[in-house]
Structure 1
Amino acid sequence: MSTAHAYYPSAPMPITMPQKPGYYPTPAHHGYGRVSVSPPQAESVTTSGGASYEPSATSSSYAGSASEYDSSGTNTGVDLLDYMGDRLHGAFDPVPLDRSLAKQAQTSGELNAKHRELLELQALAQRRLAGARANFADGMRAAKEVQKDLQWTQKRVDALNERAARKYPAEYKSAQNRYPAPVDY
């Protein structure tokens, strides 16, 4: 009693992968880059002995015909470039890269704004420094003029005191005792 079990289908069944336009160009030369699935061997098992190959159990023989295994230019194969492109597209998540690029652009914009603000503040500080230097120069000129005026006034006061001391010595001495001169430090 021999029971035959077919483990594999007898006809070749290609795997067709969905294709997305725009990823990778399909090679147009003689079907290179395509892989077709070879048909598995039909095997029948008998209960009385080992495995036996019965061509009658399948519709095609082991050698098969050339039309069954032809992989040139038909849609029966898998395009490796599309397949790998789809796998890479599925494995690569561009969202973190997009977020980092957006963050980098935002940070660059903020840095440029701060740089412009610093340049404006530097220009303002330079204008204020120039104004302060001009004010300081004016103040120094005014101080020198005041110093000259004070020196002239001091000479006039000394000359008046000397003349008063010569002309009225007794009154000058009593006034000097009554109102002593300030002590210079």
Structure 2
Amino acid sequence: MAATHSYYQYSQPSYPINMPQKPGYYYPPQQHGYGHVSASPPEAPESVTTSGGPSYEPSATSSNYAGSASDYESTSGAASVDLLDYMGSRVNGSFDPMPLDRSLAKQAQTSGELNAKHRELLELQALAQRRLAGARVSFADGMRAAKEVQKDLQWTQKRVDALNERAARKYPEQYNTAQRRYPAPVDY
């Protein structure tokens, strides 16, 4: 049985319909008619029966390309498969965690080695600071001893000069003979 009646009526041109807007939201201006619905879907006349064609009524039970409401409420077949479990098993099957585990182990090993080297450097730095403090104390002691030796040498030089003057006054001939034989060292 062939239907000769057309489902769509083209006698009237379609005009855009302004869609209602929610208060408080900004809607940018529409250009070239985008965002406007031209017309509601056409309705089939009551006299025409459809079998297998699309129906726009929510209570429709006929099968169409989108499926009916009873298809989605079914508990048998593919609808009973848990989608999360299925996708999880697919991802687990396609993903190999071994390279990631190896890289995490290598990263942990490298981090441990770096941490050990850092601690070793801190210990060596503390040792160098202790040695530097000891060297500073030794240097200060050495400078103190050098100043004391310099004072002692100056005192001794004054005493020697005083003895030479007394010897030159008391024994002038012997002193001149000794000076010629053993001249005094020249300071540079």
TM-score range relative to shorter protein: 0.5 to 0.7
Q: Equivalent of 1:164, from 161, 164, 167?
A: 167
Residue 104 (structure 1) shift: 1.1
> Secondary structure, in 3 states, of the residue corresponding to 1:73?
coil
Alignment length, in residue pairs?
A: 120
Q: Equivalent of 1:90, from 76, 89, 93?
A: 93
Corresponding residue for residue 176 of structure 1: 179
Corresponding residue for residue 72 of structure 1: 74
Equivalences for residues 1-185 of structure 1 within 5 A: 72-74=74-76, 76-77=77-78, 78-185=81-188
Corresponding residue for residue 25 of structure 1: none
The two structures, once aligned, show a CA RMSD in angstroms of: 2.2
TM-score normalised over the length of structure 1: 0.60
Which amino acid in structure 1 is aligned with residue 118 of structure 2? H
Change (3 A) 1:120 1:179: same
**Matched residues in 2 for 1:152 and 1:70: separation?**
116
Residue 71 (structure 1) shift: 6.4
Residue 70 (structure 1) shift: 7.5
User: Which ranges in structure 2 are unaligned for 5 or more consecutive residues?
Assistant: 1-62
Which amino acid in structure 1 is aligned with residue 103 of structure 2? S
Change (3 A) 1:87 1:168: same
User: Which ranges in structure 1 are unaligned for 5 or more consecutive residues?
Assistant: 1-62
Q: Tell me the percent identity.
A: 82
Change (3 A) 1:161 1:70: closer
Residue 149 (structure 1) shift: 0.4
Which amino acid in structure 2 is aligned with residue 159 of structure 1? A
**Matched residues in 2 for 1:175 and 1:70: separation?**
133
**Matched residues in 2 for 1:84 and 1:145: separation?**
90
More strand by share: 1
Which amino acid in structure 2 is aligned with residue 103 of structure 1? K
Which amino acid in structure 1 is aligned with residue 136 of structure 2? R
